[in-house]
Amino acid sequence: MNFSRYLTVSVLAAALCLPFSGAQAKTVIEVAHTQMETHPDHIALLAFKDYVERHAGDIYEVQIFPNKKAGSNEQVIDLLRAGSVQFMVISSANLEPYNRKYSVFSIPYLFSSEDEYEKFITDPKVLEELGTKNEEDGFTPLVAFTAGSRSFYAKSPISTPDDLKGKTFRIQSGRTNKDMMEFFNANEMTISFGEVYSALKKGLIDGAENNELALVEQKHGEFCKYYSYDHHQMIPDLLVGSTIFLYSIPEKDFEIFRQAALEAQEVEFAMWGNSIKKAKKSAQQLGVEFLEVNVDDFRKKVAPIHEYLLKTRPEIKSLYDKARAIGAQETEKK
Ligand code: GCU
């Protein structure tokens, strides 16, 4: 090989990211999320990685970026829609600005138990319906992870819905969350998940709302010593893939990612209950008090929002009816 030819070949290999041996380079799959490495979402993604690499490890290398290392949810979803991040775990609330169907989960008291909610979010037909405009959306939902139920927590006790008045709470993005706070008669501030700790520290907000894990993993319990079990929402996290990416790979590879997502879902659900128990204990050690409140009082306060949302957002109707039908079936069984 003369020198100039050697140069051309090596420049070409570098441009194509091929190792110089001539072997095919693996495609790196970036998976992002904003939770800590102890969170069930992360452990589930390790199972996702394991499955993909066991079945197509000669083609793909899965790299997981936890704890907002790849950016906030709001930033990464746009990278994923453009195809430069391939998968992410994101709250359905953060997808509402792209497709209103995702707002169905943000309706307060849509479900009356976690059983109902879990049945709904693990129904493949629900995900299929959410994904009907996946080309336009730029993301494709593969599976839902449970994120338990969301309740208010604050620097002072919230015992009745009236205690929300005059206080400012951090909420996730999505118009429905703002509407809910209006119905609750409370002030709200939309803040990205990773910024809530510093907003609490700076005194920009009096509290937030989430499942118990946020008290410990995100350290919100350092500031909020009262967690009130009002269970106003059950909002899943979704493992979504970049539609551009998924449509660019062979069908059999798409199937491997789909199976890997199902394995991840099983791991996440299996871990959830224990993670919550542990988080609750650790939060109590931080001095957080867990309050049982009259859930019906909170439910009544926001009950008219269902009719309001169905009127202003007709695209949620069929998923809403499906969720309510599951609720009715469960009540009948009792
Ligand atoms: C939960 C959920 C996250 C979400 C967060 C939030 O922790 O699992 O996906 O981002 O709530 O309130 O922003």
Number of alpha helices (DSSP H) and beta strands (DSSP E) in the chain: 14, 11
What is the side-by-side strand order in the sheet with 187-190? 187-190, 168-171, 207-210, 150-154, 226-233, 289-292
pLDDT higher at 91 or 330? 91
Q: How much is the average pLDDT of 182-203?
A: 98
Pair type for strands 237-242 and 87-91: antiparallel
Say whether both 254 and 110 belong to one domain.
yes
pLDDT digits (tens, 9 = 90+) for 265-279: 999 999 999 999 999
Backbone angles phi, psi at 64, to 5 degrees: -100, 130
As a whole number of angstroms, the distance between CA 188 and CA 205 comes to: 8
What is the model's pLDDT at position 330? 77
- Alpha-carbon torsion angle 108, 126, 128, 77, nearest 10: 30
Ligand 1 binding pocket (C-beta < 6 A) is 34, 73, 91, 147, 172, 193, 210, 214, 237
As a whole number of angstroms, the distance between CA 62 and CA 84 comes to: 14
Identify which of 128, 138, 143 has the alpha carbon closest to the alpha carbon of residue 245: 138
Determine the residue of 91, 145, 200, 217 to mutate for testing ligand 1's pocket, defined as the one with the most ligand atoms within 8 A of the Cβ atom.
91
Say whether both 200 and 126 belong to one domain.
no
93 C-alpha to ligand 1 centroid (Å): 9
Q: Which atom of ligand 1 is nearest to the CA of 145?
A: 8
For residues 239 and 143, the answer to whether their CB atoms sit within 8 Å is yes
CATH code at position 120: 3.40.190.170
| Number of structural domains found in the chain | 2
User: Would you place residue 329 in the very low, low, confident or very high pLDDT band (cuts 50, 70, 90)?
Assistant: confident
pLDDT digits (tens, 9 = 90+) for 154-170: 999 999 999 999 999 99
pLDDT at 10 exceeding the cut of 80 = no
- Which region among 1-5, 74-78, 129-133 has the lowest average model confidence (pLDDT)? 1-5
Residue 225: give the domain boundaries: 150-234+278-333
119 C-alpha to ligand 1 centroid (Å): 20
Query: What is the SS3 assignment for 226?
Result: strand
Say whether both 62 and 100 belong to one domain.
yes
Tracing tokens 């009792």 back to the chain, one arrives at 334
103 C-alpha to ligand 1 centroid (Å): 15
Average pLDDT score over the chain: 93
Q: Which atom of ligand 1 is nearest to the CA of 147?
A: 8
Say whether both 38 and 128 belong to one domain.
yes
Q: Which atom of ligand 1 is nearest to the CA of 209?
A: 12
Say whether both 192 and 290 belong to one domain.
yes
Which stretches within the chain are classed as H helix? Answer: 3-15, 40-56, 73-81, 114-121, 124-130, 134-137, 175-184, 196-202, 213-217, 243-248, 251-285, 295-302, 305-312, 317-333
* Residue 98 amino acid letter: Y
Say whether both 63 and 138 belong to one domain.
yes
User: Does a structural domain hold residue 2?
Assistant: no
Tokens representing 92 are 């359905």
Nearest CA to ligand 1 atom 2: 91
User: Would you place residue 21 in the very low, low, confident or very high pLDDT band (cuts 50, 70, 90)?
Assistant: low
Say whether both 159 and 302 belong to one domain.
yes
Tokens representing 104 are 């169905």
pLDDT at 37 exceeding the cut of 80 = yes
As a whole number of angstroms, the distance between CA 207 and CA 156 comes to: 9
Nearest CA to ligand 1 atom 3: 91
User: Does a structural domain hold residue 1?
Assistant: no
253 C-alpha to ligand 1 centroid (Å): 29
